[in-house]
Amino acid sequence: MSGDRYIISDQNALYFLTFTVVGWTDVFTRKEYKIEIVNSLNYCIRNKGLTVFAWCVMSNHMHIIVQAKEGYKLSDIIRDFKKFTAKKIIKIIETEPESRREWMLNQFQYAGRNLNRIKKYKFWKDDNHAIEMKSHMIDKRLDYIHQNPVNALIVEEAEQYLFSSAKDYSGIKGMVEVELIS
């Protein structure tokens, strides 16, 4: 494990993280899957000691700037978040109308085929591309997160994208209970 991939040092520091779906599979093109991410982030905020400062869900990955409150370990929160969202989203893929069901489930099954700890499907890549944030990095990372949907030509203005904290930073309440970085 290297420091640029996993949270191995200060569990209560401010981190920029990236979670990527295995095979860069474009799962988050449907709102139902993105809503599960929103609900899970809010649950972790209310119940697991997570503070979210910024977030954005793209088609096959998500970025967040987060911190664990004192008495909590960020690696534990992230482990639980990824495990829960993987199971929940796969269940939705299996049970709800999904034209790409067979293809996606094959992707997830293939990704977990040689891992003893995986029962059937692997959804998220293991690493988190963890970067411990220093004060001089914060504005650049906030901009990077919020400009992702603009650069992908999903929206013209960052605050137009629903599945991001850009709305919060423009003065409009967003979907996740974020704390603004001043």
Confidence check: pLDDT of 2 > 50: no
In a domain, 103, yes or no: no
Q: What is the pLDDT of residues 122-181, one digit of tens each?
A: 999 988 999 999 889 999 999 999 999 999 999 999 999 999 999 999 999 999 999 999
Tell me the two tokens of residue 137: 């990095």
In a domain, 177, yes or no: no
What is the pLDDT averaged over residues 72-96?
A: 96
In a domain, 39, yes or no: yes
In a domain, 3, yes or no: no
In a domain, 116, yes or no: no
pLDDT > 70 in the chain, percent: 93
In a domain, 86, yes or no: yes
18, containing H or E segment: strand 15-20
Measured distance CA(129)–CA(38) in Å, rounded:
20
Residue 174 backbone zone (phi > 0: left; psi -120 to 50: alpha; other: beta): beta
pLDDT score for 116: 67
| Predicted model pTM | 0.92
Q: What is the pLDDT of residues 28-57, one digit of tens each?
A: 999 999 999 999 999 999 999 999 999 999
Dihedrals phi, psi of 101, to nearest 5 degrees = -50, -60
CATH number for the domain that contains residue 162 = 3.30.70.1290
Q: Which domain holds residue 31?
A: 15-97+124-169
Token match 């049970």: residue?
95
Q: How many domains is the chain partitioned into structurally?
A: 1
